[in-house]
Structures are given as C-alpha cells and as structure tokens.
Amino acid sequence: MTTSTVYIVKDNGKRCFAPPCDHYDLFSADAPDKKLQSVHEIDLSAITGGDDAKMGELLQRASKGGPGLKVEGSLDKRLKAGPAGDAIVLRATRVVG
C-alpha cells in the first residue's frame, strides 16, 4: 500500500536537454518553507481525467514565483524514463485547498 501525503509543488525553473529533468520541488504542506525533494514529473490524470485545459491550469499554479499547487498524492518511480535514467513521479489524487 502506498501512503498518500499532502505536498506543495513548485516549478523550480530547471530545464534539461536529456529527460528526465527534476524541475519540480516538493514542500511539506505542514512546513511550506521546507523543501523535501525534487521530482521529475507530476501525474495529474486522476484529477483532470485527461482534460488538457484543466491540466494547464493546475500546472500554472505550480509555476515559478507563485504559491505552488497543493495536492495529495504519492511518489512513484518510472524506470528508464529517458537518457538520464529513472524518473520520480508525483501521482496526485486530489487538489487540496
């Protein structure tokens, strides 16, 4: 069983030429100034149901300089995600707040 946690997700501005690129930072919802780790991808499909407009809206909330996107979800690993290796994926199940 995978444990679900509430995170604040923020785009850290990092971009790479060889995926996966860890361009999202995760922060604790209880301590929003405490960076927990970086992740390569955010899977919002459980929330958006494949709606690209909704996905864009949610990712915009995570954009650099903003307050971040607060979601509940769990971390997963996608093996061999690209030339740079495995990817850490945040699989979000709901938006919080």
Q: What is the pTM of this model?
A: 0.86
Residue 10 and residue 22 in contact, taking contact as beta carbons nearer than 8 Å: no
48-58 pLDDT, tens digit per residue, is 999 999 999 99
Q: 80: domain range?
A: 5-95
Mean pLDDT by 10 residues, the chain (97 residues): 84 85 91 92 94 92 85 92 86 93
Please report the sign of the dihedral spanned by the C-alpha atoms of residue 96, residue 48, residue 60, residue 88.
positive
> Please, what is the average pLDDT of the chain?
89
Task: Please give the pLDDT value at position 3.
Answer: 75
What is the tally of structural domains in the chain?
Answer: 1
Task: Please give the pLDDT value at position 15.
Answer: 85
Instruction: List the structure tokens of 54.
Output: 């909704």
Instruction: List the structure tokens of 57.
Output: 């809206």
